[in-house]
Amino acid sequence: MNWLDTDPALAADGWPHGWTTAGGPDFRADPRTPELAAGMQTLRAAAGLRDVAWVHQVHGGRVLRADGPGLAGDADALWTDVPGLAVVGRGADCPLVLVGGRRDDGGAVWGFAHASWRSTVAGITASLLKDMAAAGLRAATARALVCPSAGPCCYEVGDEVREAALAKLGNGANAYFTRRGDRWLLDLWAANAAQLVAAGVPGGAITFTGLCTICGGDRYPSHRRCGEGAGRFAAFIADARTP
C-alpha cells in the first residue's frame, strides 16, 4: 500500500503497525463522526486489521484501555490486550508513540500515546507505560516507535512552554530545549524517549523514524507547515504474533 509506511525494527519483532501518508485518508474529522469512522474502516481494510479503536485526543494526560472497536473516549493514550484490536492515533506534527510488549505469560499488551507538548509535559507516555505495566506488561520486553512528527530541528515554542515543562518535569527538562533567536526548539522525541526509558523500556528498543513533518517535505500532513487546512494522518499498532 503506497500510502502506508512501516518500521523495519517493529515489523521484525512481529508487531502489526503502520502510519499513513498524505496520500491516504484524511483523519482530520471529529472522532465522533461517521466521516472519521469511515476513514478508520478504510485503514482497517488496507492494513488487514480485524478491528480498530481510537480516542478523541485532547492534549492531556489521560490514558484509556480499549475493550472493543470504535471510539473509546477522550484521552491522549490508548492501550489494549484484546486480540485482533488495533489502537489508532492521529497526528499532524505531534509525535505518536507506538509501544508493544509482553507479560510473563507471553501475552501481548500494546498501545499508543499522542505526545503533544501539553501531553508530554503531563507525562502521557509515562502514564501509558504505567497503565500497561499494571496490566502485566514487562517493560523490558517492550519496543517503541516514535512516528514522523515535528522534529527538534523545527518545533519552535515560546518561553511559556519551557516554563511549563520545567515546572512539571523538573530541571532535567532543560535538556530538551535549544535556544534559537527569541524562541526555543523543543525536542519532543527525546522528551518522550526519556519517559519510556524511565518506565523500563530499553533504550535500544526505542526507534525514531527521524522524519520531521515540518521540514521533511509533504509526505505527511503538518499543521505548522500548512496551517488550519492541514489534514491528519493515522498510526496504529496491533497484537504481535505469538512467538
pLDDT digits (tens, 9 = 90+) for 25-60: 999 999 999 999 999 999 999 999 999 999 999 999
Answer for the pair 107, 95: CB distance below 8 angstroms, yes or no.
no
Q: What is the residue-wise DSSP string for 38-95?
A: HHHHHHHHHHT-SEEEEEE--SS--EEE--SSEEEEE-SEEEE--TTEEEEEEESSS-
Closest alpha carbon to 186 in 99, 128, 120: 120
In a domain, 111, yes or no: yes
In a domain, 127, yes or no: yes
Low-confidence ranges of the chain (pLDDT < 70): 1, 241-243
In a domain, 46, yes or no: yes
In a domain, 7, yes or no: no
Residue-level pLDDT at 1: 64
Residue-level pLDDT at 243: 40
Mean pLDDT for all residues in the chain: 96
In a domain, 59, yes or no: yes
In a domain, 214, yes or no: yes
Structural domain for 121, as ranges = 13-237
CATH code of 47's domain: 3.60.140.10
Q: What is the residue-wise DSSP string for 70-82?
A: EEEEE-SEEEE--
In a domain, 243, yes or no: no
The pTM is what?
0.97
- Per cent of the chain over pLDDT 90 is 97
In a domain, 3, yes or no: no
Residue-level pLDDT at 218: 95
Cell of 8: 523495519
Q: Considering its fold, how many domains does the chain have in total?
A: 1
